[in-house]
Structure 1
Amino acid sequence: MHRRHFLGSATVATLLGSRAAAADQPSFTFPSIDGGRLRTADWRGKPVLVVNTASLCGFSGQLRDMQQLHDTEGKKGLVVLAVPSNDFNQELDDAKKVKEYCTVEYGITLPMTDILHVAKGDVHPFYRWVKDQTGFAPNWNFNKVLLAPDGRIIGTWRSFAKPGGAGIRQAFSPYLSG
């Protein structure tokens, strides 16, 4: 009897601790490539895949994969966010050019930030937080960070991992609706 009570209390304490930790996850604001702001707080309750992108990178074909995820899994709750960056010298020099290129070449309609620093210089607070929490920092273009619906980091991947690949899908699928 005492053992069951202890285990039940431990389970409740763990669940309450997890909820408290989730509530403590920070929110971040990104400047949108379209003007205005993109706020992670607006996406609470949904998994969010954040990818640092570069139009002139050999991995830029992943933009097509990102858009496909946005089109198919966005209806089930997945948010795919592109974060253009020139930290590795492979992005166009103007946000309007980036937007036009991504729209014409890949049909991008998913949310995109303005051109930001993700690894060098004045690194965006989101990427500083990811590094502080996990030790992960983009070492090239098309690195991925997956946030759980409560804002926790639940996965990070390097450039070779495709946005729609099995490992990433397996990580976000439990959080999709329908």
Structure 2
Amino acid sequence: MTSIYDIKIDSLQGKPIKLNSFKNKHILFVNVASKCGFTPQYKDLEELHQKYKNELVVIGVPCNQFGAQEPGDSYEIQEFCEVNYGVSFLITEKIDVKGNNQHPLYTWLTSKDLNGKKSSSVKWNFQKYLVDKDGKLIDYYFSITKPLSSKITKHLK
């Protein structure tokens, strides 16, 4: 089993994100897109981020693999998130969450051999993966699961 804390990913601004700095907090990874029917979930993700900031780190992961719904570059994505939803949580570089160029983060999140819990595939934008305070995968939630759903928040109390 590989540790999620060893995976390298950059922020939207191109700076390395040190996942190990989030030890002792839950992490919610969400593949996000600006032009999706689920895009209004940015508002609930921001509320989740504010409400549980002592227990949880929300990380948005832009991806353009579903309906080409995240066509923007880093600047456009950041501008969209801030202007339209007041997003203050962490947003990573734009990556692939499936396929031949799948980022190692999503290889870990979707492979039982690596995460020790379960295998999955990313079905659409705004699929969520919750990792516990020790870096272990708790579960994943499809796009229709709202960020403030008790399915997610029950793990944060």
TM-score by length of 1: 0.80
1:30 Cα deviation after fit: 1.4
Corresponding residue for residue 131 of structure 2: 147
| Structure 2: stretches of 5+ with no match in the other structure | 113-117
For the pair shown, the structure with the greater C-alpha radius of gyration is 1
Contact 2:55 2:156 in 1 (8 A): no
Give 1:69-80 correspondences, 5 Å limit.
69-74=48-53, 76-80=54-58
Aligned length: 150
Q: Identity across aligned pairs (percent)?
A: 32
Which structure has more helix as a fraction of its residues? 1
Corresponding residue for residue 130 of structure 1: 109
1:42 Cα deviation after fit: 1.0
Matched, 1:87 2:65: yes
The higher relative CO (CA closer than 8 Å, separation ≥ 6) is in: 2
| Structure 1: stretches of 5+ with no match in the other structure | 1-20, 174-178
What is the Cα-based RMSD across aligned positions, in Å?
A: 1.4
Matched, 1:63 2:42: yes
Give 1:4-153 correspondences, 5 Å limit.
25-27=3-5, 28-74=7-53, 76-88=54-66, 89-133=68-112, 134-153=118-137
CA–CA distance in 1 between the matches of 2:4 and 2:139? Answer: 17
Of the structure 1 ranges 98-107 and 37-46, higher mean CA displacement relative to structure 2 is found in 37-46
User: Over residues 1-39 of structure 1, what are the superposed CA-to-partner deviations in whole Å (9 max), with x where a residue is unaligned?
Assistant: xxxxxxxxxxxxxxxxxxxx8xx6332221101231112
Residue 87 of structure 1 aligns to which amino acid in structure 2? Q
CA–CA distance in 2 between the matches of 1:98 and 1:123? Answer: 20
